[in-house]
């Protein structure tokens, strides 16, 4: 990124310092984020110790003053930042002040402020983007006169996504775990630690996604096509949660260890961090666009490392029940993530790329910490460094799907993951493959009946 890029008059209000879990987090461009919250001049977002700044987005027209004298605005921001560290003020005091401000709930009834660590807020407790986005002008969020009637279909792409989800329906009873019990005992201690932590997160994560759908998204979205998808997704999240709970119940025999894993949100730090991040977004007063991106990260980034770990077991020909259920669930979650990206593309006013990059970066940092904790020892063909690169690769792919530039520009370190999307070749009568979908439903989307006409000339 060009450090001398002039300010373009974008942005407003409070900006992001980094009050994060660890010092030294970067912004994806090699610069460290500041460790305190500070108000700066409008049109600025502070990048750290070298006092550089980059523009934040505004949806209002740019002022003539900001366009004529961008450098004077930058100088004001730099001077204001320097004054924060006078002889009478220490960084530790600033951090304490920032943390105390960060813990303050928003002034509306939607719960605490948004969860991006270090995000600072204006006096009304809202992020700058939210003040600029007129959500009542978004067609998909506006009250619909025919909200309770499915037809006529207006958003055909959303409807087709719903039909794909419907065609992919499965139940936990279809997964055979008989071979897994014996093969679980053959795993090494490190492998058991890895798999158990992955399942511990998954067992609770689907419930968190379900909570977001029930408490927020179904109240936000007004168009019937999207509400139909979310309604079906809720049913599938219940099946996913049941499946992961069955896996833990089957593999873990020690009651104390089983209880610890079932309560991983309270007992395991790396799992708690992921859950807290997602739960805070549910409670936040952020705009729908921000929350939509955040939960695309939950299903697209938070799940990526765990899915990859289980596919690594499949590559070794182990744990057939676990790996088959993982195929089904990863396919479902991929569809959910694709739907989020499709829905985001329908928003008239979208987030500035810096805001989206910041949300994605937070998810990458937390998922990387989870992987490093869950995978403390290098396994054959799998270690935390490779997994961290894979997470960044997935994050870049998500950014592109949302319509933004990549952050990390890394290649997929696991070439075998490229084959996951290929059609399964399992004998259908031996076991339903992960790519299987209800034939009668999908054929209706592929045989030209896209207008969903009622016909009476069929043979019965």
CA distance 196 to 251: 9
Kindly state the percentage of the chain with pLDDT values over 70. 59
Would you give the distance in Å from CA 292 to the centre of its chain? 8
Mean pLDDT computed over 149-177: 90
Distances in Å between the Cα of 21 and the Cα atoms of 208, 300, 362, 366, 368 are 22, 22, 10, 9, 12
Q: Is the pLDDT of residue 146 over 90?
A: no
> pLDDT at residue 303 above 70?
yes
Does residue 352 form part of some domain? yes
Q: With 0-12 CB in 10 A as exposed, 13-18 as middle and 19+ as buried, what is 456?
A: exposed
Evaluate whether residue 35 is within a structural domain.
no
Q: How confident is the model at residue 7 (pLDDT cuts 50, 70, 90)?
A: very low
100, with CB counted inside 10 A (0-12, 13-18, 19+), is: exposed
pLDDT higher at 377 or 399: 399
Residue 42 has pLDDT above 80, yes or no: no
Q: Alpha helix (H) ranges present in 168-253?
A: 178-186, 189-212, 218-220, 224-251
Is the separation of the CB atoms in 417 and 395 below 8 Å? no
pLDDT of residue 290: 92
Q: Yes or no: say if 252 and 258 are a contact pair by the CB < 8 Å rule.
A: yes
Indicate whether 316 belongs to any domain: yes
* Residue 419, SS3 per DSSP: helix
- Asked if residue 181 has pLDDT above 70, the reply is yes
- Residue 337 confidence (pLDDT): 92
pTM of the model: 0.63
Q: Report the mean per-residue pLDDT for the chain.
A: 69
Q: Which residues pair with 105 in a beta bridge?
A: 112
Give every CB contact of residue 280 below 8 A, 6+ residues apart in sequence: 112, 114, 115
Give the helix ranges, DSSP H, for 284-303. Answer: 288-297
Classify each residue of 202-218 as buried b or exposed e, where b means 16 or more C-beta atoms within 10 Å of its C-beta: bbbbbbbbbebbeebbb
Query: Among the options 244, 251, 404, 436, which is catalytic?
Result: 244
| 385 domain residue, yes or no | yes
Interatomic CA distance for residues 61 and 80, integer angstroms: 25
Give φ, ψ of 99 to 5 degrees.
-65, -40
> Looking at the 3D structure of the chain, how many domains does it have?
1
Q: Which structural domain, as residue segments, surrounds residue 193? A: 179-424
**Is residue 23 assigned to a domain?**
no
pLDDT digits (tens, 9 = 90+) for 337-390: 999 999 999 998 899 999 999 999 999 999 888 887 776 656 656 677 888 899
Mean pLDDT of 115-139: 48
Report the pLDDT averaged over residues 7-11: 38
User: Does 331 fall in a domain?
Assistant: yes
244 is catalytic: yes
| 330-346 CB burial, b ≥16 within 10 A, e <16 | bbbbbbbbbbbbbbbeb
Q: What angle do CA 261, 265, 267 make, to 5 degrees?
A: 60
Looking at residue 378, which CATH number applies to its domain? 1.10.620.20
Residue 60 lies in a domain: no
CB 97, CB 249: distance < 8 Å: no
> pLDDT value at position 134?
65
- Determine the pLDDT at residue 332: 93
Q: Answer yes or no: is 254 within a domain.
A: yes
């Amino acid at each position: 990124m060009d450090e001398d890029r002039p300010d373009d008059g974008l942005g407003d209000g409070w900006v992001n310092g980094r009050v994060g879990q660890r010092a030294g987090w970067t912004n994806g461009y090699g610069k460290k984020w500041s460790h305190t919250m500070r108000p700066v001049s409008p049109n600025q977002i502070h990048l750290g110790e070298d006092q550089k700044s980059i523009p934040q987005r505004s949806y209002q027209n740019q002022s003539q003053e900001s366009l004529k004298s961008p450098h004077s605005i930058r100088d004001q921001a730099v001077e204001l930042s320097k004054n924060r560290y006078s002889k009478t003020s220490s960084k530790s005091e600033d951090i304490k002040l920032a943390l105390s401000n960060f813990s303050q709930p928003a002034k509306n009834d939607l719960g605490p402020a948004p969860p991006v660590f270090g995000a600072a807020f204006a006096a009304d407790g809202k992020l700058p983007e939210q003040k600029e986005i007129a959500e009542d002008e978004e067609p998909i969020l506006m009250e619909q006169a025919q909200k309770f009637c499915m037809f006529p279909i207006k958003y055909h792409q959303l409807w087709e996504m719903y039909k794909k989800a419907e065609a992919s329906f499965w139940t936990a009873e279809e997964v055979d775990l008989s071979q897994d019990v014996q093969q679980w005992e053959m795993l090494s201690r490190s492998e058991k630690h890895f798999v158990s932590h992955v399942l511990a997160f998954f067992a609770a994560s689907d419930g968190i996604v379900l909570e977001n759908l029930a408490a927020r998204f179904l109240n936000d979205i007004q168009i019937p096509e999207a509400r139909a998808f979310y309604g079906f997704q809720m049913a599938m999240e219940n099946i996913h949660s049941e499946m992961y709970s069955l896996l833990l119940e089957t593999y873990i025999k020690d009651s104390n260890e089983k209880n610890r894993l079932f309560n991983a949100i309270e007992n395991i730090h790396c799992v708690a961090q992921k859950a807290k991040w997602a739960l805070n977004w549910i409670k936040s007063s952020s705009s729908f666009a921000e929350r939509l991106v955040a939960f695309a990260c939950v299903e697209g980034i938070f799940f990526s490392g765990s899915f990859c770990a289980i596919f690594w077991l499949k590559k070794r020909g182990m744990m057939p029940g676990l790996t088959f259920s993982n195929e089904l669930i990863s396919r479902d979650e991929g569809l959910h993530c694709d739907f989020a990206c499709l829905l985001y593309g329908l928003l008239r006013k979208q987030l500035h790329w810096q805001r989206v990059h910041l949300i994605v970066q937070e998810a990458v940092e937390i998922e990387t910490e989870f992987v490093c904790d869950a995978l403390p020892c290098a396994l054959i063909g799998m270690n935390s460094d490779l997994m961290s690169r894979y997470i960044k690769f997935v994050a870049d792919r998500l950014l592109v799907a949302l319509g933004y530039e990549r952050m990390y520009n890394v290649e997929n370190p696991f070439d075998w993951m490229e084959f996951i999307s290929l059609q399964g070749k399992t004998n259908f009568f031996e076991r339903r493959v992960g790519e299987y979908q209800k034939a009668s439903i999908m054929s209706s989307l592929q045989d030209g009946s896209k207008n969903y006409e009622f016909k009476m000339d069929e043979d019965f």
